[in-house]
Structure 1
Amino acid sequence: MSRARASLRSFRHENRGTNSVGPVAVDMWFALGNPDLLSVLAALVLLIGVPAFVVVVLAVTAGYIQHDAEQRLAVLAAEARESENGTNAPEDRDDESR
Protein backbone atom coordinates (compact mmCIF):
# COMPACT_ATOMS: atom_id res chain seq x y z
CA MET A 1 0.00 0.00 0.00
CA SER A 2 2.93 2.34 0.59
CA ARG A 3 3.88 2.15 -3.08
CA ALA A 4 0.40 3.33 -4.07
CA ARG A 5 0.58 6.21 -1.58
CA ALA A 6 3.99 7.24 -2.89
CA SER A 7 2.63 7.12 -6.41
CA LEU A 8 -0.29 9.32 -5.39
CA ARG A 9 2.04 11.78 -3.66
CA SER A 10 4.24 12.05 -6.75
CA PHE A 11 1.16 12.47 -8.92
CA ARG A 12 -0.09 15.31 -6.73
CA HIS A 13 3.35 16.92 -6.65
CA GLU A 14 3.76 16.79 -10.43
CA ASN A 15 0.29 18.16 -11.13
CA ARG A 16 0.14 21.09 -8.73
CA GLY A 17 -1.95 23.91 -10.03
CA THR A 18 -3.52 21.87 -12.82
CA ASN A 19 -7.09 20.75 -13.10
CA SER A 20 -7.22 17.29 -11.52
CA VAL A 21 -10.55 16.31 -13.05
CA GLY A 22 -8.94 14.87 -16.18
CA PRO A 23 -8.97 11.20 -17.13
CA VAL A 24 -5.75 10.49 -15.23
CA ALA A 25 -7.22 11.72 -11.96
CA VAL A 26 -10.43 9.77 -12.51
CA ASP A 27 -8.51 6.55 -13.01
CA MET A 28 -6.20 7.26 -10.09
CA TRP A 29 -8.62 5.82 -7.49
CA PHE A 30 -8.15 2.43 -9.11
CA ALA A 31 -4.39 2.59 -8.54
CA LEU A 32 -4.90 3.10 -4.82
CA GLY A 33 -6.12 -0.47 -4.37
CA ASN A 34 -3.75 -3.35 -4.04
CA PRO A 35 -3.77 -5.52 -7.20
CA ASP A 36 -3.61 -8.63 -5.03
CA LEU A 37 -6.74 -7.50 -3.21
CA LEU A 38 -8.54 -7.06 -6.52
CA SER A 39 -7.46 -10.54 -7.56
CA VAL A 40 -8.76 -12.00 -4.31
CA LEU A 41 -12.08 -10.20 -4.73
CA ALA A 42 -12.39 -11.44 -8.31
CA ALA A 43 -11.64 -15.00 -7.18
CA LEU A 44 -14.27 -14.76 -4.43
CA VAL A 45 -16.86 -13.53 -6.90
CA LEU A 46 -16.05 -16.42 -9.20
CA LEU A 47 -15.92 -19.04 -6.44
CA ILE A 48 -18.98 -17.89 -4.49
CA GLY A 49 -21.06 -15.58 -6.65
CA VAL A 50 -21.26 -17.64 -9.82
CA PRO A 51 -22.20 -20.93 -8.10
CA ALA A 52 -24.75 -19.08 -5.96
CA PHE A 53 -26.32 -17.63 -9.10
CA VAL A 54 -26.45 -21.08 -10.71
CA VAL A 55 -28.05 -22.58 -7.60
CA VAL A 56 -30.69 -19.83 -7.55
CA VAL A 57 -31.51 -20.40 -11.23
CA LEU A 58 -31.77 -24.16 -10.66
CA ALA A 59 -33.98 -23.67 -7.58
CA VAL A 60 -36.36 -21.37 -9.43
CA THR A 61 -36.51 -23.76 -12.37
CA ALA A 62 -37.11 -26.76 -10.12
CA GLY A 63 -39.84 -24.88 -8.25
CA TYR A 64 -41.56 -23.99 -11.51
CA ILE A 65 -41.36 -27.60 -12.74
CA GLN A 66 -42.72 -28.89 -9.43
CA HIS A 67 -45.59 -26.38 -9.46
CA ASP A 68 -46.44 -27.24 -13.06
CA ALA A 69 -46.32 -30.98 -12.30
CA GLU A 70 -48.65 -30.57 -9.31
CA GLN A 71 -51.14 -28.66 -11.45
CA ARG A 72 -50.95 -31.28 -14.20
CA LEU A 73 -51.45 -34.12 -11.69
CA ALA A 74 -54.47 -32.33 -10.24
CA VAL A 75 -55.99 -32.05 -13.74
CA LEU A 76 -55.27 -35.73 -14.44
CA ALA A 77 -56.81 -36.74 -11.12
CA ALA A 78 -59.92 -34.70 -11.90
CA GLU A 79 -60.15 -36.31 -15.33
CA ALA A 80 -59.76 -39.76 -13.76
CA ARG A 81 -62.58 -39.02 -11.29
CA GLU A 82 -64.77 -37.81 -14.16
CA SER A 83 -64.07 -40.94 -16.20
CA GLU A 84 -64.95 -43.14 -13.20
CA ASN A 85 -68.26 -41.34 -12.85
CA GLY A 86 -68.95 -41.70 -16.55
CA THR A 87 -69.08 -37.96 -17.23
CA ASN A 88 -66.27 -37.96 -19.74
CA ALA A 89 -68.45 -37.11 -22.73
CA PRO A 90 -67.52 -33.73 -24.26
CA GLU A 91 -71.11 -32.50 -24.24
CA ASP A 92 -71.37 -33.11 -20.46
CA ARG A 93 -68.31 -31.03 -19.64
CA ASP A 94 -68.43 -27.36 -18.75
CA ASP A 95 -66.78 -24.80 -21.02
CA GLU A 96 -64.31 -24.04 -18.21
CA SER A 97 -62.41 -27.30 -18.67
CA ARG A 98 -61.98 -26.87 -22.45
Structure 2
Amino acid sequence: MDKILGQLVEYVTTTLLCVQNKLDARDKTKTHIFVPHKPQHNFLSHIESKLKEATTRLEKQLAEEQAARLRAKDIAKLHNMHHGILEQVVIL
Protein backbone atom coordinates (compact mmCIF):
# COMPACT_ATOMS: atom_id res chain seq x y z
CA MET A 1 0.00 0.00 0.00
CA ASP A 2 2.91 2.37 0.75
CA LYS A 3 4.23 1.76 -2.76
CA ILE A 4 0.84 2.65 -4.27
CA LEU A 5 0.63 5.79 -2.15
CA GLY A 6 4.14 6.78 -3.23
CA GLN A 7 3.27 6.22 -6.87
CA LEU A 8 0.09 8.28 -6.50
CA VAL A 9 1.99 11.15 -4.88
CA GLU A 10 4.67 11.00 -7.60
CA TYR A 11 2.05 10.97 -10.36
CA VAL A 12 0.09 13.91 -8.95
CA THR A 13 3.25 15.89 -8.24
CA THR A 14 4.43 15.34 -11.81
CA THR A 15 1.00 16.33 -13.11
CA LEU A 16 1.04 19.50 -11.00
CA LEU A 17 4.48 20.41 -12.34
CA CYS A 18 3.34 19.83 -15.94
CA VAL A 19 0.25 21.98 -15.42
CA GLN A 20 2.31 24.72 -13.80
CA ASN A 21 4.84 24.60 -16.65
CA LYS A 22 2.07 24.88 -19.24
CA LEU A 23 0.50 27.79 -17.38
CA ASP A 24 3.88 29.51 -17.07
CA ALA A 25 4.56 28.97 -20.78
CA ARG A 26 1.16 30.41 -21.67
CA ASP A 27 1.86 33.50 -19.56
CA LYS A 28 5.30 33.95 -21.17
CA THR A 29 4.10 33.73 -24.77
CA LYS A 30 0.99 35.86 -24.20
CA THR A 31 -0.43 34.37 -27.41
CA HIS A 32 -3.26 32.66 -25.59
CA ILE A 33 -6.18 34.11 -23.72
CA PHE A 34 -5.02 35.90 -20.60
CA VAL A 35 -5.47 33.77 -17.50
CA PRO A 36 -5.03 35.79 -14.30
CA HIS A 37 -2.70 34.42 -11.63
CA LYS A 38 -5.47 33.90 -9.10
CA PRO A 39 -7.41 31.27 -11.15
CA GLN A 40 -4.13 29.43 -11.73
CA HIS A 41 -3.52 29.47 -8.02
CA ASN A 42 -7.10 28.35 -7.33
CA PHE A 43 -6.77 25.53 -9.86
CA LEU A 44 -3.51 24.32 -8.33
CA SER A 45 -4.92 24.73 -4.82
CA HIS A 46 -7.92 22.64 -5.86
CA ILE A 47 -5.64 19.90 -7.20
CA GLU A 48 -3.52 20.04 -4.05
CA SER A 49 -6.60 19.75 -1.85
CA LYS A 50 -7.81 16.76 -3.87
CA LEU A 51 -4.37 15.18 -3.48
CA LYS A 52 -4.49 15.75 0.27
CA GLU A 53 -7.97 14.22 0.43
CA ALA A 54 -6.83 11.17 -1.53
CA THR A 55 -3.70 10.84 0.60
CA THR A 56 -5.73 11.09 3.81
CA ARG A 57 -8.21 8.51 2.52
CA LEU A 58 -5.41 6.12 1.50
CA GLU A 59 -3.61 6.57 4.83
CA LYS A 60 -6.86 5.83 6.68
CA GLN A 61 -7.45 2.76 4.53
CA LEU A 62 -3.88 1.60 5.14
CA ALA A 63 -4.29 2.02 8.90
CA GLU A 64 -7.56 0.08 8.81
CA GLU A 65 -5.95 -2.73 6.81
CA GLN A 66 -2.99 -2.89 9.19
CA ALA A 67 -5.35 -3.03 12.17
CA ALA A 68 -7.34 -5.80 10.48
CA ARG A 69 -4.12 -7.78 9.86
CA LEU A 70 -3.16 -7.45 13.53
CA ARG A 71 -6.63 -8.61 14.60
CA ALA A 72 -6.37 -11.56 12.22
CA LYS A 73 -2.98 -12.50 13.68
CA ASP A 74 -4.40 -12.33 17.21
CA ILE A 75 -7.36 -14.48 16.21
CA ALA A 76 -5.03 -16.99 14.56
CA LYS A 77 -2.90 -17.15 17.71
CA LEU A 78 -5.97 -17.74 19.86
CA HIS A 79 -7.19 -20.39 17.45
CA ASN A 80 -3.82 -22.15 17.50
CA MET A 81 -3.66 -21.98 21.29
CA HIS A 82 -7.20 -23.37 21.57
CA HIS A 83 -6.44 -26.08 19.02
CA GLY A 84 -3.25 -27.00 20.92
CA ILE A 85 -5.16 -27.29 24.20
CA LEU A 86 -7.76 -29.53 22.57
CA GLU A 87 -5.01 -31.78 21.19
CA GLN A 88 -3.47 -32.07 24.65
CA VAL A 89 -6.84 -32.99 26.16
CA VAL A 90 -7.45 -35.63 23.50
CA ILE A 91 -3.97 -37.11 24.05
CA LEU A 92 -4.54 -37.36 27.79
TM-score (norm 1): 0.49
> 2:78 maps to which residue?
76
Q: 2:47 aligns with which of 38, 45, 48?
A: 45
Match of 1:34 in 2: 36
* Bigger relative contact order (CA 8 A; separation at least 6): 2
The residue that corresponds to 1:58 in the other structure is: 60
Bigger Rg, which one: 1
TM-score, scaled relative to structure 2: 0.51
Q: How many Å separate the matches in 2 of 1:56 and 1:77?
A: 31
Alpha-carbon deviation of 1:47?
3.0
Gaps of 5+ in 1: 1-28, 88-98
TM-align CA RMSD: 2.2
Q: Give the gaps of 5 or more residues in structure 2.
A: 1-23, 28-34
